[in-house]
């Protein structure tokens, strides 16, 4: 007799980058090695989709109806391109409070020199917030920008192929070990300009979830995201061990330090100041001609 049961739950694909902070936030939602998810749902089964942030940005912008992920991490700079199809969740943000990606080089220089010498600068993707803020800071036309995978940027600068680079993820903590010096912390620059934290990454869900899965689906899904974050933070040691699997050889102390940078009070909920930071960033970029005009972003949460 066939005793195999069919899983009737709806599949929710959750896209995140292969980085410790994202892994830290969402691991309780996924089944693993035949074991149920820590936060199992009777209605939804979460499936992990891991891609670098620029791939997730491009997928959100370019996917058709069937291939567009139900939930995905994106760069905040990407949001105006997808605002008609996705809404930002109130949780899951990566926000730098006076810190952020670093503009680095082999030798120290200053921003004014960079603005006047048309340097070559490597960035981690055309749709990343790191590239957007770098362009606001230096001027889009003042630099020869080149987009490349984030993990190739340090070597591209140390080798002399580029004058400078914008590093994200763990290279924000390890660039000195790779023989580079900081020219500017983008989060510190933004705070000095606007007196606001720098919203780097956002978590978004499709606007059609209720139509596809029934009334209340979007609220239930966002509630599970909020519960995952709370569970991860309450079980920090175990969550760090899970995050370590995506740490690309970093020791646990550096992994923990990186997680602490970007899983913080803003991640649990933007709050009014965090939401204002998103609005100001997108408006500033639109006024500078770097992003299309976007209606004031809306946020979905259970509170």
Answer whether 184's CB lies under 8 Å from 263's CB.
no
Between the alpha carbon of residue 183 and those of residues 18, 93, 95, 179, 276, the distances in Å are 26, 26, 21, 13, 27
Element (H, E) at 103: strand 102-105
In the sheet with 102-105, reading across from the earlier edge strand, the strands are 144-147, 120-123, 164-167, 102-105, 181-185
Catalytic entry in 65, 81, 108, 169: 169
What is the Cα–Cα distance from 128 to 202, expressed in whole angstroms?
A: 11
Tokens of 58: 């491009």
Between the alpha carbon of residue 22 and those of residues 19, 51, 96, the distances in Å are 6, 11, 15
Locus of tokens 């902070």: 21
How many CB atoms neighbour CB 97 within 10 A?
A: 18
Asked if 235 is an active-site residue, the reply is no
**What angle in degrees, to the nearest 10, is found between the helix axes of 129-138 and 271-287?**
60
Tokens of 114: 């960079």
Alpha-helical regions (H) of 92-246: 111-117, 129-138, 153-158, 171-174, 186-194, 209-213, 217-234, 236-244
Between the alpha carbon of residue 64 and those of residues 61, 85, 105, 152, 184, the distances in Å are 9, 11, 39, 30, 38
Residues forming the active site: 169
């Amino acid at each position: 007799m066939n005793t195999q049961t069919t899983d009737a739950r709806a599949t929710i694909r959750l896209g995140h980058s292969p980085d410790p902070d994202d892994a830290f936030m969402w691991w309780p939602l996924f089944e693993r090695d035949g074991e149920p998810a820590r936060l199992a749902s009777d209605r939804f089964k979460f499936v992990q989709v891991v891609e670098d942030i620029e791939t997730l940005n491009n997928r959100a912008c370019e996917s058709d109806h069937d291939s567009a992920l139900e939930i995905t991490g994106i760069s905040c700079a990407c949001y105006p391109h997808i605002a008609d199809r996705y809404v930002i969740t109130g949780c899951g943000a990566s926000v730098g409070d006076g810190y952020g990606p670093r503009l680095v080089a082999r030798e120290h220089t200053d921003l004014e020199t960079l603005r006047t010498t048309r340097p070559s600068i490597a960035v981690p993707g055309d749709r990343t917030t790191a590239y957007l803020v770098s362009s606001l800071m230096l001027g889009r036309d003042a630099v020869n920008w080149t987009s490349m995978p984030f993990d190739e940027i340090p070597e591209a600068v140390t080798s002399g192929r580029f004058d400078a680079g914008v590093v994200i993820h763990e290279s924000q903590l390890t660039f000195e070990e790779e023989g580079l010096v900081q020219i500017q912390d983008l989060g510190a620059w933004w705070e000095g300009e606007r007196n606001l934290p720098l919203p780097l990454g956002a978590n978004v869900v499709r606007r059609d979830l209720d139509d596809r899965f029934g009334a209340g689906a979007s609220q239930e899904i966002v509630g599970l995201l909020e519960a995952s974050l709370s569970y991860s933070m309450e079980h920090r040691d175990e969550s760090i061990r899970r995050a370590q699997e995506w740490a690309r050889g970093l020791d646990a102390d550096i992994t923990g330090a990186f997680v602490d940078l970007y899983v913080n009070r803003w991640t649990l909920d933007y709050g009014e100041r965090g939401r204002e930071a998103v609005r100001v960033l997108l408006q500033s970029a639109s006024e500078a001609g770097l992003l299309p005009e976007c209606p004031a972003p809306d946020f979905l949460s259970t509170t």
